[in-house]
A and B are shown apart, each in its own frame.
Chain A
């Protein structure tokens, strides 16, 4: 294990960043200039703070414009404990992170169940509220007059005689934020955050508890920010509500990440290396009278970056950087190539059902008089059916027949108005969250494909695999097997948004398979495909069934569903018209009528 780690250090992708860090650190030791040292302090602190912001804002795409509430909470907690109770700030930092967890719950719990801009609004508002409270409770915080922290240099107090130790401290803070970012990004949480940022509903259907993932992201992000606030306060030694809880500072963190590269690990640091010096030099050169003008430029920069550089400046450099990495020598011999394990077909655990061909199978899905109404539209009416294990169950019907609504009820996206669904005899009525349904063993795909666009095919599948395997090492082993099974292994490094429609649909299937479902709901996986691709899809679905997975197929491509299904159910206007073998269904006058309208037979 240790030998492996040492070997990894010989890789250019490991040693290059380490060399870069050493070069960043060197000036701290070499320079004597107090201005530069304080500049380094600012740059590194900001790099760490926007790195912290980036965990929820970048990875998770949850735009916070109130991170100064965490920052201010940290700085006030740490400093007040010191000033009022003599608790050394180094220990006070623990209290900072503790309180920030509570704050994260207050913001996150109401907002993260919802979609849309609520979280952003709530973060702004809570920043403002904490500002008002800090001004109001004068007795505690000294209000607008500001709180002075006594100058007592010691490591325990995080307070030093010269600028150099401060700069080193900030460097360590930045390193810590980087390490946390890397850890989050490579963990299950990181994959889940990126997945829910790209496609919330799809992530949920793959077993991702999106509310929980966002909450974890906010806790980590807020905790780090509070830590930064606590450290920064011992540098300034003076706190004032309007500067601690400033909206501008919150926006600044977001802007820094954005300029560097949103959702990347070093993007925020890069943004900070660029923006903080510009800011500091402009402040020195322009002086106070041009403050307003400076911020005008700043705001304009924000707009321009969003419009013309949405991926940040890192995007320019990542290409050449990777070419450079490829050319640099590898020390200590090549590392283990990530080979596939055994071929998939023989022993793999695709589904978790082995019970095919039992004498009298109990239905795996049993729906009893399901109904669902949207406003004035009765989408599904009194629908009952059952599906046997290992069956391919086709569902057809004209547009608006309620097929997708039915799938949404089965997968926990909607709750039925009345009726019951049983899965392996267990009632699904109390389970409304689709990630829980997925964990029980019902996977699904979406009619409108929802691949996670900004991560690779392999990572897409890993998001699904994390449903059963919390560890990244296991998920990254099982995902290629699934890709091999669906015949996409050669595209594993392609990004989700570069795929053709057929491949996107196949990827959806692979992702759903990775969650090891017992029942798979396929919503028009063949719509829009060529007849050759349809043929492939039919073979794949049969192959999936042969692994013991029960498949429910909603489809319009008639010849495919007829050749595929064991039984077919026909819906029209939310009601079941009939159910039977494909042959029976294709001959039934009611079906023909539903599709082609009254009077067709006569004509």
Chain B
């Protein structure tokens, strides 16, 4: 029974990882940039939610109405100001730039908000649902279902809208997309915006169950990297699946091995994936050895 509870906990936790990773993998798949500041963007959205709760008295779930557009704009600004000038530069230059951004955001938060752990208390979020001896937290259930909902919405967005089709075209072949008249820069900007808005959703949803502090992003983003690689870089279904797998692994290894070593286990999985199937669960086999377009 404890095992079942652990697996459920893992699935709920996995929802969080999935939600964070989907944005990361979307940006990677289309813009071909690993956004090392992704964790700090999570932190930013958690602070936005935190302050709209403490200062404006907005419920975190309502604050999404502010948070999503705001994070969307932030993402587009990052793309235009930092990534765009480096589009043609070697990949390591882009990594440097996003690492720089991550340092700026993290320390700006440290300077402005201090390193203290902050949290909000929602009566609702602390409620739990009981099934026999299983316990489920409402807030985590919301995260779990949101991650699935977000994936479905994103899927339909990419599948059926004109913008979605353009995004997928670029992800497949930049050059061909350009030749058929797709405005690459515009789509990159929008994709960066969407990816950032997704992590914005994640930030707002996890605030009721987690503390916020300036380096909270570092913790989540490392796991998100593992999830993204496990799922297949650039693959959104993979990120969802990878999120749940890592969530369950975390939950099990936290209980059976040691809580402080669960990241070590995640990293061992990461190495095994690289050794056996570097394209990840859902990626195209061989793509990473050829260097993707």
Mark A residues whose CB is within 8 Å of B: 57, 61, 63, 65, 106, 109-111, 113-118, 120-122, 124-126, 128-129, 132-133, 135-136, 200-201, 247-248, 251, 254-255, 258, 290-296, 298-303, 305-307, 310
- With contacts A117-B91, A306-B96 taken as known, whether A136 is within 8 angstroms of B260 at the C-beta atoms is yes
The answer to whether A303 touches B82, judged by C-beta atoms less than 8 angstroms apart, is: yes
Residues of B within 8 A of A295 (CB): 103, 106-107, 110
The answer on a CB contact under 8 Å between A125 and B270 is: yes
Q: Chain A's nearest CB lies how many Å from the CB of B220?
A: 12
Interface positions of B from 65 to 124, Cβ below 8 Å from A: 82, 85-86, 89-93, 95-97, 99-108, 110-111
User: Known interface pairs A117-B34, A128-B222. Does A136 touch B111 (Cβ–Cβ under 8 Å)?
Assistant: no
Which B112-142 residues sit within 8 Å CB-CB of chain A? Answer: none
Name the CB-closest residue of B to A131: B263
Which segment of B51-59, B160-168, B186-194, B285-293 sits at the interface? B285-293
Interface hit among B7-15, B205-213, B240-248, B271-279: B271-279
Q: Are A258 and B226 in contact (CB under 8 A)?
A: no
Interfacial chain B residues near A117, Cβ < 8 Å: 34, 91, 95
A121-B225, A247-B218, A296-B108 known; A258 and B96 CB under 8 Å? yes
Asked whether, in the complex, the Cβ of A292 is within 8 Å of the Cβ of B108, the reply is yes
Within the assembled complex, what's the spacing in Å between the Cα atoms of A399 and B1? 62
In the assembly, what is the distance between CA of A135 and CA of B259, in Å? Answer: 12
Q: Which residues of B contact A110 (CB under 8 A)?
A: 271, 274-275, 278
B61 interface residue (CB < 8 Å to A): no
* Residues of B contacting A61 in the complex (Cβ-Cβ under 8 angstroms): 90, 92
Does B157 make an interface contact (CB < 8 A)?
no
- Taking CB atoms, residues of chain B closer than 8 Å to A122 are 270-271, 274
- Report chain A residues within 8 Å CB of B62: none
Task: Evaluate whether A296 and B107 lie within 8 angstroms (CB atoms) in the complex, with A63-B92, A128-B263 already known.
Answer: yes
- From residue A44, how far is it (CB to closest CB) to chain B in Å? 24
Q: What are some 17 contacts across the A-B interface (CB < 8 A)? A: A63-B91, A63-B92, A65-B99, A114-B289, A115-B289, A117-B95, A125-B222, A128-B263, A128-B267, A129-B264, A290-B111, A298-B103, A299-B105, A301-B100, A303-B100, A306-B93, A306-B96
* Residue pair B225, A300 in contact (C-beta under 8 Å): no
A94 to chain B, nearest CB (A): 27
The answer, yes or no, to whether B233 is at the interface (CB within 8 Å) is yes
Range, interface on chain B: 35 or more
B126 shortest CB reach to chain A, Å: 29
Contacts known (A113-B289, A258-B96, A307-B85); A125 close to B274, Cβ less than 8 A: no
Contact residue among B96, B103, B111, B288 (Cβ-Cβ distance under 8 Å from A115): B288
Q: Which single member of B103, B229, B263 contacts A118 (CB below 8 Å)?
A: B229
Q: Which residues of B contact A300 (CB under 8 A)?
A: 100, 104
CB neighbours (8 Å) of A299 from chain B are 99-107
Report chain A residues within 8 Å CB of B264.
129, 132-133
Which B residues are CB-close (under 8 A) to A294? 107
Answer yes or no: B261 CB below 8 A from chain A CBs.
Answer: yes
For residue B278, which residue of chain A has the nearest CB? A114
Chain B interface residues (CB < 8 Å from chain A): 34, 82, 85-86, 89-93, 95-97, 99-108, 110-111, 218, 222, 225-226, 229, 233, 258, 260-261, 263-264, 267, 270-271, 274-275, 278, 288-292
Q: B120 CB to closest chain A CB, in angstroms?
A: 23
Contacts of A121 in B (CB 8 A): 34, 225, 229, 270
Complex Cα distance, B267 from A65, in Å, reads: 15
Among candidates A114, A291, A301, residue contacting B288 with C-beta atoms closer than 8 Å? A114
Q: CA of A175 to CA of B263 in the docked complex: distance in angstroms? A: 38
**C-alpha gap A591/B127 in the complex (Å):** 76
Bound state CA distance, A251 and B258, in angstroms? 29
Which of chain A's residues has its CB closest to B214's CB?
Answer: A292
Contact at A125–B226, with CB atoms within 8 Å?
yes
Shortest CB–CB separation between residue B101 and chain A, in angstroms?
Answer: 6
Whether the Cβ atoms of B96 and A254 lie closer than 8 Å is: yes
Residues of A within 8 A of B222 (CB): 124-125, 128
* CB of B82 to closest CB in A, whole Å: 6
| Docked pose: A124 CA to B221 CA in angstroms | 11
CB-based nearest A residue for B273: A110
Write out the residue numbers on chain B whose beta carbons fall within 8 Å of the beta carbon of A129: 263-264, 267
Interchain CB contact under 8 A, B99 and A251: yes
A303/B101 in contact, CB under 8 A? yes
Q: Give CA–CA (A75, B187) in the complex, Å.
A: 47
The residue of chain B having its C-beta at the shortest distance from the C-beta of A293 within the complex is: B111
* A106 / chain B contacts, CB cutoff of 8 Å: 271
A302 to B103, CA, bound (A): 9
Q: What B residues does A132 contact at CB under 8 A?
A: 260-261, 263-264
Q: Do B291 and A201 touch (CB < 8 A)?
A: yes
Pair A292/B107 contact, Cβ less than 8 Å: yes
Q: Is the CB of A293 within 8 A of B107?
A: yes
The answer to whether A114 and B261 touch (CB under 8 A), given A128-B222, A299-B107, is no
Of the candidates A200, A302, A310, which one forms a contact with B99 in the assembled complex, judged by CB atoms under 8 Å apart?
Answer: A302
| Cβ–Cβ contact B103 & A114, under 8 A | no
A603 smallest CB distance to B (angstroms): 30
Interface centre among B105, B226, B291 (most CB of A within 10 A): B291
- Minimum CB–CB distance from A278 to chain B (whole Å) comes to 15
CA distance A287 to B108 in the complex (A): 16
A526–B26 CA distance with the chains assembled, in angstroms: 40
Are A63 and B95 in contact (CB-based, < 8 A)?
yes
Query: Do B108 and A118 touch across chains, with their CB atoms under 8 A apart?
Result: no
Residues of A within 8 A of B260 (CB): 132, 135-136
Q: In this complex, what residue of A is CB-closest to B258? A: A136
Known: A63-B96, A307-B97. 12 other contacts (CB 8 A): A63-B92, A110-B274, A115-B292, A116-B91, A116-B291, A117-B95, A120-B92, A296-B111, A299-B100, A299-B104, A300-B104, A310-B89
A291: B residues at CB distance < 8 A:
107, 110
- Chain A residue numbers with a CB within 8 Å of B97 are 302-303, 306-307
Interchain CA distance A277-B263 in the complex, whole Å: 36
Contacts of A200 in B (CB 8 A): 291
Cα of A291 to Cα of B226 in the assembled complex, Å: 31
Complex alpha-carbon distance, A298 and B104, angstroms:
8
The answer for the CA separation of A510 and B100 in the assembled complex, in Å, is: 41
- Least Cβ distance of B254 to chain A in Å? 13
In the complex, what residue of chain B is closest to A254 when comparing beta carbons? B96
* Known interface pairs A118-B229, A125-B267; A306-B100 also in contact (CB < 8 Å): yes
A463 to B270, CA, bound (A): 34
Instruction: Output the nearest chain B residue to A302 by Cβ-Cβ distance.
Output: B100
